[in-house]
């Protein structure tokens, strides 16, 4: 299992890496747009901060353009860059070709087990589901994740849960079969806290004070 930071903000990346248990970073076009910088420049900076995997999404309008973007991104760190490719039939074909070239791919926006299955057949390292988004669109994103995880259990393709909005949703995704999760820095920090843990610490301190 791994927890990834979902951010294109280099300061978030520095803070997350300092925690010592965050495996790497996922980005997407929306996150990159929010920082107002060129995507490959952001990718280069993130790669310089973390030694872990970094996910970068291709966005060109044509297969040829997306293929060129994938090759350019992967060339920055072939062993650590995972090219994110949205789930469509033509993109799955493209992913299979890129994988045959040695480029690591992650199929994103997986919305049905059939897409997860084809991601595995294409040789993708990850199938990424937007769990909260699927809940809002279909009613139960965890159920979709659970089915995808069951289908991919005997394959090397890992289920990565994204679009997680609460600590409970993160836990539900992991219990539902996600091998990895990607979440914003604020939610990572919340995961390590619980009021009962703080109460236990206070109780221990009080007991020591009474000695």
Retrieve residue 149's tokens.
């995880």
The DSSP 8-state label assigned to residue 210 in this structure reads: T
Retrieve residue 78's tokens.
């072939």
Q: Is 165 a catalytic residue?
A: no
User: Which string of DSSP letters, residue by residue, matches 118-182?
Assistant: HHHHTT-SEEEEEHHHHHHHHS-HHHHHHHHHHHHTTSSPEEEEE---SHHHHHHHHHTT-SEEE
Determine which one of 58, 83, 84, 127 is catalytic. 84
Of the candidates 14, 10, 17, which has an alpha carbon nearest to the alpha carbon of residue 31?
A: 10
Catalytic residues: 84
């Amino acid at each position: 299992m791994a927890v990834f930071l979902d951010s294109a903000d280099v300061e978030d990346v520095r803070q997350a890496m300092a925690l010592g248990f965050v495996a790497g970073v996922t980005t997407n076009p929306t996150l990159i747009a929010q920082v107002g910088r060129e995507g490959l420049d952001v990718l280069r900076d993130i790669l310089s901060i973390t030694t872990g995997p970094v996910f970068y999404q291709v966005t060109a309008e044509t297969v040829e353009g997306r293929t060129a973007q994938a090759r350019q991104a992967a060339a920055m760190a072939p062993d650590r860059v995972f090219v994110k490719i949205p789930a469509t039939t033509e993109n799955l074909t493209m992913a299979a070709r890129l994988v045959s070239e040695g480029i690591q791919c992650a199929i994103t926006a997986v919305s049905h087990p059939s897409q997860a299955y084809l991601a595995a057949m294409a040789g993708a390292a990850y199938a990424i589901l937007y769990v909260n988004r699927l809940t809002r669109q279909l009613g139960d994103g965890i159920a979709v994740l659970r089915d995808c995880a069951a289908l991919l259990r005997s394959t090397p393709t890992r289920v990565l849960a994204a679009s997680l909005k609460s600590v409970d949703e993160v836990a539900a995704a992991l219990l539902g079969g996600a091998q990895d999760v990607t979440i914003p820095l604020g939610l990572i920090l919340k995961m390590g806290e619980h009021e009962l843990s703080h109460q236990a610490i206070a109780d221990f301190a009080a007991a020591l004070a009474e000695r």
